Amino acid sequence: MNQLMQGEFTGKTAEEAIREGLLTLGLKEEEAIVEVLEEGKKKLFGSVKARVRITKKQSDGERATDFLDGLFEILEMTATAELLSEGESIRINVTATNPQAVIGRRGEILDSLQSLAGAVANIGREDYRRVVVDCENYREEREESLKKLALRLADKAVASAKKVRLDPMNPYERRIVHAVLAQNETVKTISEGKEPHRYIIIVPNNYDPEKDKKFRKPRKGDKRSDGEKKFNRDRREGREGRENREGREDRGKKPYRRDRRSSDVKKDVRKPAPFFGTYLGKNPNAGKEDEGNKKD
């Protein structure tokens, strides 16, 4: 973390202590914060010297740099922020033992650090100063790769006469793509979607809606209109809903146990009904017995 230029100084008076402190620190009065700790006083036996504390005012860039260093300590990241320049924009470079942990996927973490540093640097300011936080020259390399990607996809769009949609990007990266293709007379670019998922679409001048089914709107002559698709979707949803309802109803019923033990089944204790002919005095074996007697 950047050490602030400060110190305590004494003199016969506060004014004398302040002059001594500014001279020692090499600061102008408008560049310093002065705190009077003790006024110089004369006493009966001698006098008490005045004592002041003088601290150098931090610039916007220094404040943002110190903030990042403090944040790295809290996150237990071995990284250091360095203020490179401070003019119309503030440029800060981060050196880390693990750069990827600072950069993140497609620079997401680095972009977050940049947003936080920008908020800290612009505290109390009416006009916003842009803050750029870089690590291991990632910004420049990313810019070059975006330019090459934009030109390659523009050629693809012209060759196919179709629109080409890019992945979502942050505003800074979208500006790079728009800028490089603004000089291309064969395509134009538009941004669609909402942050943080806003993306760019490359539209070739020879765009043919008939070839581009992905972006083509359905017409009345299409085999399956929107109404038919909706009707089929509703039918599917109705069938699925009916199956879900039946499934819920089945879950509410107790399953029938086919493997119940014989002891669980109520035994039929009723005696079998006698043969109907018995009540009429007819014995079904009577004839056979008579025939047997006759043979014997």
Q: Do residues 125 and 146 share a domain?
A: no
Domain span including residue 30: 6-56
Give domain status of residue 282, yes or no.
no
What is the rounded distance in angstroms from the CA atom of residue 296 to the CA atom of residue 294?
5
Give domain status of residue 10, yes or no.
yes
Residue 43, CA distances (Å) to 15, 36, 49, 241 in order: 19, 19, 11, 96
Give domain status of residue 182, yes or no.
yes
CATH assignment at residue 173: 3.30.1370.50
- Of 84-98, 208-222, 227-241, which gets the smallest average pLDDT? 227-241
3-state secondary structure of 129: coil
Q: pLDDT over 90 for what percent of the chain?
A: 46
What is the rounded distance in angstroms from the CA atom of residue 290 to the CA atom of residue 276?
21
102-133: per-residue pLDDT in tens? 999 889 999 999 999 999 999 988 899 999 99
Q: Do residues 47 and 85 share a domain?
A: no
Q: In whole numbers, what is the pLDDT of the chain averaged over residues?
A: 79
Give domain status of residue 131, yes or no.
yes
Is 264 exposed, middle or buried (CB count within 10 Å of its CB: 0-12, 13-18, 19+)? exposed
Give domain status of residue 273, yes or no.
no
What is the rounded distance in angstroms from the CA atom of residue 188 to the CA atom of residue 205?
7
What is the rounded distance in angstroms from the CA atom of residue 111 to the CA atom of residue 117?
10
Look at residues 10, 134, 2, 119 and name the one whose alpha carbon lies nearest to residue 57. 2
* C-alpha 159: how far from chain center: 34
The last residue of one of the domains, among 167, 186, 204, is 204
The total of structural domains in the chain comes to: 3
Give domain status of residue 267, yes or no.
no
Give domain status of residue 253, yes or no.
no
Q: Where are the beta strands (DSSP E) in 71-220?
A: 79-86, 89-96, 130-135, 164-165, 187-192, 199-204
The last residue of one of the domains, among 135, 154, 169, is 135
The last residue of one of the domains, among 135, 165, 195, is 135
Give domain status of residue 147, yes or no.
yes
Q: What is the pLDDT of residue 119?
A: 95
Q: What is the pLDDT of residue 71?
A: 96
Q: Do residues 158 and 130 share a domain?
A: no
3-state secondary structure of 106: helix
Return the H-helix or E-strand segment holding 148: helix 138-160
pTM confidence score:
0.57
Q: What is the pLDDT of residue 296?
A: 39
CATH assignment at residue 92: 3.30.300.20
